[in-house]
């Protein structure tokens, strides 16, 4: 079913079934130290930062859809030796806002699934792995906004890249777009 998380602490082990949705709402902090979250359904992150980490750490396994619908950050506020590990086997999507969703320092992002930046920017600011088979998808909307991905290191991956046109946008011949930023 549908569940809401408006504030407070999420601890222990939580598994979302394939037909479940977790709505993360309100501008409050959402704390999940020492937590294991396995998403087989949909996590709709609409507001508030997600603070994680601790000992033994926070582990997120996304097999479904994790959709960032705000300009917030997932961070390692509780520290620890491992911190936070986000394993994306499904789709991590950014949509509806033109700002940046940040996977902050202390959060390791391992991707074998799809990074889908429809609007705004997905910023991976710490360690990340873009494994063979990684898919990157970008939305182009012209003046309505484009999607992009920023990497803290080199852009090395073997996978596919796709672009789709949003809001009836049709680029002029010879147009160019900055979709991927890296060192």
Give residue-wise pLDDT tens across range 66-112.
999 999 999 999 999 899 999 999 999 999 999 999 999 999 999 99
Joined together, the tokens standing for residue 77 give 């506020």
pLDDT per residue over 109-136, tens digit each? 999 999 999 999 999 999 999 988 899 9
Distances (CA, A) of 135 to 24, 75, 90, 105, 138: 25, 24, 10, 23, 10
Across the range 17-32, mean pLDDT stands at 97
Query: Residue 159 has what pLDDT?
Result: 87
Query: Residue 38 has what pLDDT?
Result: 98
Q: In what order do the strands lie in the sheet with 65-68?
A: 2-5, 21-24, 42-45, 65-68, 91-94, 114-117, 134-140, 159-165
Query: Residue 183 has what pLDDT?
Result: 86
pLDDT per residue over 34-60, tens digit each? 999 999 999 999 999 999 999 999 999
Query: Residue 53 has what pLDDT?
Result: 97
pLDDT per residue over 138-181, tens digit each? 999 988 889 999 999 888 778 899 999 998 899 999 999 999 99
Instruction: Please name the residues in contact with 22: beta carbons below 8 A apart, sequence gap of 6 or more.
Output: 3, 4, 5, 16, 39, 41, 42, 43, 44
């Amino acid at each position: 079913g549908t569940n809401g998380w408006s504030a407070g602490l999420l601890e222990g082990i939580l598994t979302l079934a394939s037909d479940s949705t977790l709505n993360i709402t309100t501008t409050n902090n959402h704390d999940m130290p020492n937590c294991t979250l396995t998403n087989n359904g949909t996590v709709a992150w609409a507001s508030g930062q997600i603070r994680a980490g601790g000992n033994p750490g926070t582990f997120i396994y996304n097999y479904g859809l994790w959709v960032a619908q705000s300009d917030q950050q997932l961070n390692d506020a509780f520290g620890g030796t491992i911190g936070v590990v986000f394993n994306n086997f499904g789709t991590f999507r950014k949509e509806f806002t033109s700002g940046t969703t940040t996977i902050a320092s202390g959060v390791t992002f391992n991707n074998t699934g799809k990074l889908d930046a429809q609007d705004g920017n997905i910023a991976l600011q710490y360690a990340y792995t873009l494994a063979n088979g990684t898919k990157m998808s970008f939305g182009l909307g012209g003046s309505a906004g484009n999607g992009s991905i920023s990497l803290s290191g080199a852009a090395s991956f073997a996978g596919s890249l796709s672009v789709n046109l949003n809001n009836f946008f049709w680029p002029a011949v010879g147009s160019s777009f900055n979709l991927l930023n890296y060192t």
